[in-house]
Amino acid sequence: MENENSQVAISVNHLTKIYKLYDRNRDRLKEALHLGKNINFREHYALNDVSLEVNTGETVGIIGTNGSGKSTILKIITGVLNPSGGEVKINGRISALLELGAGFNMEFTGIENIYLNGTMIGFSEEEIDEKLNDILEFADIGDFVYQKVKTYSSGMFVRLAFAVAINIDPEILIVDEALSVGDVFFQNKCYRKFEDFKKQGKTILFVSHDLSSISKYCDRVILLEKGRKIGEGGPKEIIDMYKKVLVGQLDKQSDTGKSGKISTGSKWKDRMQLNPDKDEYGSGLAEFEDYCAYDKTGEITNTIIKGEEFTVKVKVRFFETIQDPILAVSFKNRQGTEITGTNTMFEKLNTGMPGPGDVMEATFTQNMSLQGGEYLVSLGCVGYREGEFTVYHRLYDVFNLTVISSKDTTGFYDMDSVVTVTLKDRQEEA
């Protein structure tokens, strides 16, 4: 059904999606067969009275924690799921990048799947013929396109699936995390196509955990939490709100104070997302009692804006007298490669001789120069005891940091270069 207002591409009104959760499989069977009245189930609201509009030519992002309803709302908008209540109105031709390759037949060749998917979307064979070269050029998998899809690597599979979905020239593009497929070069190609869509004035609605992309591409952002819309506005405003959701500080005025800034009234680490699989060991002579990261406003968070100042803060309790303990912090990427780090010895700080029961606090403050992405933070308290190097307490990969960036360069970190370009005409050169 089309929306009467041509300026509104997508209109979602009071959308609700309810799933029934059964404690026992036999209750599910009774419900399916309409047997009996005493059937035990709980209602789970994947979406609860959500309304939103996306204007023609606008790029809108949807963010939220896992289970917040992001993918559910996209599936209802694209007709994959039926709502339990409310309505959706669409004005324009939609292309959806939800589950890449979901309609592929593994026994068909790549070419056969292109025509199969194009037909399912609603194109004639002649229209697919016109788009075939663009699809093949974008996928760039060579003669494999004539082989059965079941012989493809996972990389080739997603390249072809994305190429089919992105090259049908829609008026409205719906994307669910699909821009993270393939290798870095293919991702770059996908983002260029995404930017082309924006320049052409296409309407784009997309879900992503990549806050850098949300910040860079979106005109407006919607925040979902536990099936409800809890925020809507500009990217920076809503990303800041999301950061509070991640650490359970939204609308809280506990011992952190109204601003949510770091204080001494509770454990800092309780307001961080921690890694349940951290690697921990040591002699037991000292212990990291507390730790966190906080941004330039003093708010405890796992999310840092690239280019802004941030701090890692630690609190160590000592159980014996230790001379010159070395406190360290380091950063790894998701692949486990250590990118950077420092410690009190490198920084030429004298940490003295803490004794039993003493507590030492240390702050590591720096500008965030790492590229946008996910990083893991490790902490260490080490030193030399009776001439032997000793690990008093080490916490590997204890928490993550998400770096939000609107501009990434090559490599692990940004050199923060100042670049100038001057165009000289032929007469000046002569």
Tens digit of pLDDT at every position of the chain (430 positions): 444 445 899 999 999 999 877 766 766 666 666 666 676 777 889 999 999 999 999 999 999 987 899 989 999 998 889 999 999 999 988 877 776 666 788 999 999 999 988 887 778 899 899 999 999 999 989 999 999 999 998 778 888 888 887 887 778 888 886 555 566 677 777 778 878 888 888 999 988 877 878 888 899 999 999 999 999 999 989 988 887 787 666 765 443 343 445 555 589 999 898 998 899 999 999 999 999 999 998 989 998 988 999 999 999 999 999 999 999 999 999 888 999 999 999 999 999 999 999 999 999 999 999 998 889 999 999 999 989 999 999 999 999 998 887 777 778 998 988 887 888 876 666 5
Any residues with CB less than 8 A from the CB of 284 and at least 6 apart, and which? 319, 392, 393
The CA-based angle 97-190-155, given to 5 degrees, is 80
Indicate where the chain has its CATH 2.70.50.60 domain(s).
261-404
Q: Count the neighbouring beta carbons within 10 Å of the beta carbon of residue 374.
A: 14
Retrieve residue 99's tokens: 């589950």
Burial of 346 (0-12, 13-18, 19+ CB in 10 A): exposed
- Contact predicate 301/294, CB 8 Å: yes
pTM of the complete model beyond 0.75: no
Q: Give the whole-angstrom CA distance, residue 135 versus residue 146.
A: 14
Please give the pLDDT value at position 189. 79
Identify the CATH number of the domain defined by range 261-404: 2.70.50.60
**Residue 93 Cα distances to 4, 10, 122, 280, 307, angstroms:** 15, 11, 10, 53, 39
Q: Give the whole-angstrom CA distance, residue 57 versus residue 62.
A: 16
Q: Is 167 left (phi over 0), alpha (psi -120 to 50) or beta?
A: alpha
Identify the CATH number of the domain defined by range 8-242: 3.40.50.300
Please give the pLDDT value at position 254. 40
Indicate where the chain has its CATH 3.40.50.300 domain(s).
8-242
Please list the residues that pair with 367 across neighbouring strands: 309
CA 121 to chain centre: 29
The H-or-E segment that residue 237 falls in is helix 235-246
3-state class of 6 per DSSP?
coil
